[in-house]
Structure 1
Amino acid sequence: MAALGSSMGAATVLRAAVKAPQRSDRLVLVIPGPAWQARAERRSGLEAAADLVEREGGAALVAEMRQVGPPSVLAGVEDFPPEFDVPEPLLPTVLRAAAASDLPDPAVLRALPHPALILAWEGDPSHPAETAEALADLMPAARLHGSRDLADIRSWGSLAAAFLSWATSTFSLIVVWVAMWPGGRQVTPARVELAFNRFVVADAGYTADMSGRYRGAGAARAVMLVADVLAGVLGLWIALSLLGANPSNDLAHAVHEVADWLSTWARDLFTPSQDWLRTLLNYGIPALAYLLIGHIAAGWLRRVD
């Protein structure tokens, strides 16, 4: 499960990931608030806001926020502050709950393996960039994107969408496998891992560290990785064959040998007269079988875990 949280929601996402790491996949943490030792001042401000709402109503809090104005990075934004999406009778309780909350302990965050995208802006004491920087340092698979102006902040939607939608698939395995081949280098598991750890998502403008993708749920992630790699090899051979790759080429020959071994149990399962269809069926069905079995097994392991 991927999760996105802003401000206090970022703390909620982290708490959920710590409590049940096997249920989380990729995390997007947007403008996390002051944390740990720096939380005291923010806590007193939220408690004062709760008292103000109880005494004078939510309109008084909105008026005070308008008087203070938005952070400098949001200068020019219309409709500030945004409307509270909470019934006014509940607002003091929500504000006091926010005051009582904090990020998980730093030592716990160091053990979180989940890939995380942290989005922060500058010039906002309620959401200091220092917290985002600390999280990026603590979390082993985190990447920080800081913004200094409104134009860059408006790119956050596409950044988060690209980060959350980038999933390891048979196609991406093929791309990485082919990308490692130029220069005659031997394809090894270590190079596969290196390629994943440094895979560049060009449209998003950042490097997505994939090293944590298969670590979060232990055995389940390992099973998924194996299934994806096996299906990726078979899918690569189907593509090479249908595109008429030279069988004497080192890459084509190596992939063909591995694909033949992986599909031994399905050899000649179908014998249509068209070569392309025979290749598609006799290698494609094993690829689908590995994916299906792997993901069913991974789902079972997650439930057991």
Structure 2
Amino acid sequence: MQINAHELNTRSQGKGPLFVWGHGLTGSMGSEDALGLFEWKKFPRDIRLLRYDARGHGESEASATPAGYHWAELGSDMTALAHKHARGSGYVLGGQSMGCATALYAALQCPEEVRGLVLVNPPTAWQTRAAQGAFYRKSAWVSGLLGGKLLAKVMSKDLSRLLPFWMLEARAEKVPGAFEGLSRMRRCTLFNLFRGAALTDLPAESALATLEVPTLILAWSDDPTHPLSTAETLAQLLPRAQLHIAHSNDEVLRWPALMREFVSQVSAKADA
């Protein structure tokens, strides 16, 4: 689908109120399915679930510049996708990590249309973003030299930056599949992608405080790339937010049901 001058790979299931979902950095729909974290096949069929590979990820067309990967630009893609599929009605937005940031920017672009937000593993932001930006600048240089296949091998040796140790233990057999998309990414795409990630941050706290929509925030502990400080600050800023923190794989296993229930409830209330 042509979205903001980029061909994006999309996938939808179900019919009814729209829920648009974005994945994390260097991920894709395929990597999400490999990890099996969200149980998308169990999503209610009376909700239209729209997933997509963000620009430069999976099977979607890449941006030619780092600025094209700023979260505000990705938010514009999500908004455009929502407009194409919602057909004048409201919608729910959500995402994990980079997708979480994408959803927040998209919600600020059209707040009157958003029925709810699902924010999973909010990334580093504000005070913690500078150090992460330095890491991404280094990653841009390394990935420009190695390319996706070798970078995936390097990253697979230090998975502690990607998942909590208890998640790695519980899903050890599924984690390798999450690198399949990364291994196919080109050097120039990875360079621009990481440079773009280094340039960006979450919206200003004052702007986020204006989002008067029901919000479900799901976060886990023991993950420096997705610190609890971001999730907790968002829970304080967003007027109608509820926060659930997981400290074990068993608690993460409850997330899909929480997401399904939340999206169904806010969609039904908006239609009532």
Range of TM-score over shorter length: 0.5 to 0.7
**1:88 counterpart = 2:178:** no
Aligned to 1:37: 127
Contact map agreement 1:114 1:141 (CA 8 A) in 2? yes
Change (3 A) 1:144 1:16: same
Match for 1:165: what amino acid?
S
Q: In the TM superposition, what whole-angstrom CA distance separates every residue of 1:255-287 from its partner, at most 9, and x where no partner exists?
A: xxxxxxxxxxxxxxxxxxxxxxxxxxxxxxxxx
Aligned to 1:61: 151
TM-score normalized by the length of structure 2: 0.59
Change (3 A) 1:15 1:84: farther
CA distance in 2, matches of 1:65, 1:47: 15
**1:136 counterpart = 2:235:** yes
For residue 167 of structure 1, report the CA deviation from its aligned partner. 4.0
Aligned length: 173
Contact map agreement 2:216 2:262 (CA 8 A) in 1? yes
Change (3 A) 1:85 1:25: farther
2:256 to 157, 162, 170: 157
Aligned to 2:103: 13
**Structure 2: gaps of 5 or more residues:** 1-90
**1:104 counterpart = 2:194:** no
Greater mean deviation of Cα atoms: 110-119 or 94-103: 94-103
Q: In the TM superposition, what whole-angstrom CA distance separates every residue of 1:169-207 from its partner, at most 9, and x where no partner exists?
A: 5xxxxxxxxxxxxxxxxxxxxxxxxxxxxxxxxxxxxxx
State the Cα RMSD in Å: 1.9
CA distance in 1, matches of 2:111, 2:267: 19
Contact map agreement 2:168 2:175 (CA 8 A) in 1? no
CA distance in 2, matches of 1:84, 1:142: 34
Aligned 1:160-199 pairs, distance under 5 A = 160-167=259-266
Greater mean deviation of Cα atoms: 157-166 or 49-58: 49-58
Q: Secondary structure at the match of 1:131?
A: helix
CA distance in 2, matches of 1:69, 1:37: 24
CA distance in 1, matches of 2:139, 2:229: 24
2:245 to 143, 146, 167: 146
TM-score normalized by the length of structure 1: 0.53
For residue 168 of structure 1, report the CA deviation from its aligned partner. 6.8
Contact map agreement 2:115 2:267 (CA 8 A) in 1? no
Contact map agreement 1:11 1:32 (CA 8 A) in 2? yes
Match for 1:8: what amino acid?
M
Match for 1:75: what amino acid?
L
Q: Secondary structure at the match of 2:118?
A: strand
CA distance in 2, matches of 1:111, 1:99: 26
Contact map agreement 1:11 1:103 (CA 8 A) in 2? yes
**Structure 1: gaps of 5 or more residues:** 170-212, 215-223, 229-305
Higher strand proportion (structure 1 or 2): 2
CA distance in 1, matches of 2:129, 2:180: 22
Contact map agreement 1:122 1:148 (CA 8 A) in 2? yes
Match for 1:131: what amino acid?
T
- Percentage of matched positions with identical amino acids: 35
For residue 6 of structure 1, report the CA deviation from its aligned partner. 0.6
1:4 to 94, 103, 122: 94
Q: Secondary structure at the match of 2:115?
A: coil
Match for 2:251: what amino acid?
D
Aligned to 1:245: none
Match for 1:80: what amino acid?
V
CA distance in 1, matches of 2:193, 2:253: 28
Contact map agreement 2:123 2:226 (CA 8 A) in 1? yes
Higher helix proportion (structure 1 or 2): 1
Change (3 A) 1:80 1:124: same
Q: In the TM superposition, what whole-angstrom CA distance separates every residue of 1:227-274 from its partner, at most 9, and x where no partner exists?
A: x5xxxxxxxxxxxxxxxxxxxxxxxxxxxxxxxxxxxxxxxxxxxxxx
